[in-house]
Chain A
């Protein structure tokens, strides 16, 4: 009996690159991973379209056959899925049968009654998940259809030969499970459980069971090692005693040469086939061409003995004893992000909350830091950008940081907020995005969503350095208030030396008439009113009054400083008061007071020593003199007697002199 296999042989070497390298379990990285190792789907970058054709070169008059079309998608950074339609993934046998009869005229009539056996694997789906950067898992399901068309003949009661075609079909899903693991020093591992379980949709009848595909379970293990960024060698071994070995060499950045060997009967290493191929990567297109040559051509030329077919027990339709030499061509097109990822963000830490009052400071003081890893094989220059929608006009980018391969660098990043952030009334949480992009890449390589905690515009973290950002001497309401007060006072003092002192006195006393001190510890801790708010609300606590008075002084060109006292015995009982520069030089200090405990002599930017007066605003209602006495008394105790500045628990924070 002679067997005529149809030309539509195929194997799971649906990837031309896979055919060329021969051992692809650890390296599969495109839509064809649904056949090789579904875990490889996680290497899809964004969208991937994959086309595959092949030509059976050892079968005469064989043209190119459209083998498959697949589409894959990466989503949510760590997930990937693919679906593939493979019209060319067929295996068909024709078992010829004929008989001859003589008609009444004595002529021989030859009638053919061929049996057709076909197997298809037209649909495949797969899903994979990156559980870690180095480790991914995936599964795929492939639909196998089997069909037998058997023509039977018989002679009816009128002695006429009749024929009847009987069709038998079966179909089942076979599920593979795979994993890939990458070690940073160039090792790649792959493990696949083939046909791990099956879901039968339709079975053959008992009489046809012999034609059922025998999708046996098997395990394939693959290892690949990258000797450099130009050479990678891999091998696969499976429980069917097949061992494959191959190498891919990057001749140029765009051009790759591949070769591999297929052996059987491990450990005898019976050489079964060899492959050679090349690939061209020209983003977003990767083109691969490979040629697979079998050393034993018997049964691979389109004709075989039925016994061989029976012996093969239809174990697979992929790599069979009938697979002919083949030239395969694959094209992959990456859509969306097409460049290689050079850098990854491993972790982002937000260093502080955002206090709208001092939002400008985040342009110079890091708001967070990102740990960036160079995942490429060459040194990179990476920049980190940070963006919060609505509050930033565009992402704020860092300077480039050089990172060697496989090293990480913690990159502090800044944020240039716009004034919209002052609209935040209360503590809120917003999404911020951190990007990294590495040269020579034009697009970002990775991004990281992080949470940005934005305080309300009146919130304060207790740091006196930030308190100064609440001091707004240019606020029109403040200018209006101070101008009105000083115009009304019409100071008669003609002594220019005391002008600032008298302005400060007048403003304080007028403020005491408008604003009331309210001791509210709950608010003191983290809530500060802007000066215009304090004047409008006509009340405020210690911080509010200090800030308000400093703004009024700043508005008339009087320098001031905050005195921040954090008693070492009781840090929770911290306190802030203010001192201002009278502009009076030290030798004229007696114009202010004969008691040197009442003032502080400080050297200004020009090196001139001038007289500063400490003022405690919590005694606002008692007027300037009492506030001055109290402030001076505090300063004497804190600084002169207890040396708080020298010991570090008293800080003087100067406020900008030019508002």
Chain B
């Protein structure tokens, strides 16, 4: 018997085939249990909406677990992952990345960066800047971050921890980077950079892990973490030396 979720999934596959996209076949993610404030954000929508046990989560969805709440998802009906409170997880992060995929994604910042324009070999029209309206002071009227966004960022970092605990090292490293890029002032940033480095090491990208360890500001971590950090750096340096 076809469920609504099955129909949706089939429609996505058909659309994907029509548009010729090479979509990775995602495992079926099913919400097994819900306790308290558990919501889903579908695709590129802004709004979170309630979700109930038994619902299927799509690969472009994100799941939100509020305070004193919890949830459980299953992957292909086999692996179960418990979602603790104060967590946001992007469903597309519940996947393993190969070393090559992870390297490519780590290099993505550089790949998609706006290139330096080489004007020696280009004919450009004359430079004219057209300004409409009156000039406005940019930073003066900056809108502060919307209420709750830092909280959500922390929830996403909690989600990254969850990914690490479930051995999704590649997506964990990428997610932490993404969150810290948008929220560079998060107090516990150094701790999560340490998480990124650990993930990269677990993913056997030792040079990248070493670079990440080295970039961690020592003043923001505990003495014990410092000691661990130094040990990790030495260990990876020795590996690089091999």
Contacts and interface: CB of A to CB of B under 8 A. Distances in A.
Contact of A656 (B109, B112, B124, B184): B124
B114 to A, nearest CB: 5
Interface string A343-379: 0000000000000000011011000000000000000
A636 interface: yes
Contact of B123 (A361, A581, A591, A604): A361
B131 A557 contact: yes
B50 interface: no
Contacts of A473: 130
Count class of interface residues, chain A: 35 or more
Interface in B107-136: 107-117, 121-133, 136
A596 to B, nearest CB: 6
A603 B113 contact: yes
B23 interface: yes
Residue with the greatest number of chain A CB neighbours at <10 A, chosen from B109, B116, B130, B184: B130
Contacts of A641: 23-24, 59-60, 92
Interface stretch (B144-152, B158-166, B229-237): B144-152
Nearest to A630: B44
B146 A594 contact: yes
A520 interface: no
A407 interface: no
Contacts of B104: 643, 646-647
A307 interface: no
A569 interface: yes
A657 B117 CA distance: 9
B43 interface: yes
Contacts of A499: 136, 138
Contacts of A587: 182-185
Query: Which one of A561, A629, A659 has the greatest number of beta carbons of chain B within 10 Å?
Result: A659
B181 A567 contact: no
Given A557-B131, A590-B146, A604-B114, A595 B141 contact: no
A636 B178 CA distance: 14
A375 B97 CA distance: 61
B123 A364 contact: yes
A311 to B, nearest CB: 82
Interface stretch (A183-191, A456-464, A478-486): A478-486
Contacts of A633: 43-44, 60
Interface in B72-87: none
A196 interface: no
Interface in A523-574: 555-557, 559, 561, 567-570, 573
Interface in A630-647: 632-633, 636-647
A638 B21 CA distance: 7
B132 A503 contact: yes
B149 A483 contact: no
Nearest to B43: A633
Contacts of B181: 586, 601, 609
Contact of B20 (A487, A573, A595, A604): A573
A597 B178 contact: no
B184 to A, nearest CB: 6
A654 B21 contact: no
Nearest to B60: A636
Contact of A486 (B60, B132, B149, B152): B132
B142 A588 contact: yes
Nearest to A566: B20
Nearest to B156: A596
Contacts of B178: 596
B3 interface: no
A569 B182 contact: no
A491 interface: yes
A641 B58 CA distance: 12
Contacts of B167: none
A514 interface: no
A603 B182 CA distance: 13
Interface string B84-111: 0000000010000000010011011111
Given A602-B112, A641-B59, A658 B124 contact: yes
Nearest to A556: B132
B41 A595 contact: yes
Nearest to A597: B44
Interface of B: 16, 19-24, 41, 43-46, 59-60, 62, 92, 101, 104-105, 107-117, 121-133, 136-143, 145-146, 149, 152, 178, 181-185
Interface of A: 360-361, 363-364, 473-474, 479, 482-483, 486-487, 491, 494-499, 503, 555-557, 559, 561, 567-570, 573, 575, 581, 586-591, 593-598, 600-605, 609, 629, 632-633, 636-647, 649, 652, 654, 656-659
Across chains A and B, which 9 residue pairs bring their CB atoms closest together, nearest first?
A570-B20, A646-B104, A567-B20, A496-B138, A360-B123, A603-B113, A496-B136, A658-B127, A573-B20
25 contacts: A363-B123, A474-B125, A482-B132, A487-B132, A487-B133, A496-B139, A496-B141, A496-B142, A499-B136, A559-B114, A561-B114, A569-B22, A573-B19, A591-B146, A603-B110, A604-B114, A605-B117, A633-B60, A637-B60, A638-B21, A643-B101, A646-B104, A649-B22, A657-B114, A657-B117
Given A595-B46, A659-B128, 19 more contacts: A361-B123, A364-B123, A556-B131, A559-B114, A567-B21, A586-B184, A587-B184, A591-B146, A596-B178, A597-B43, A605-B116, A632-B44, A637-B21, A641-B23, A642-B24, A643-B104, A644-B22, A646-B111, A659-B125
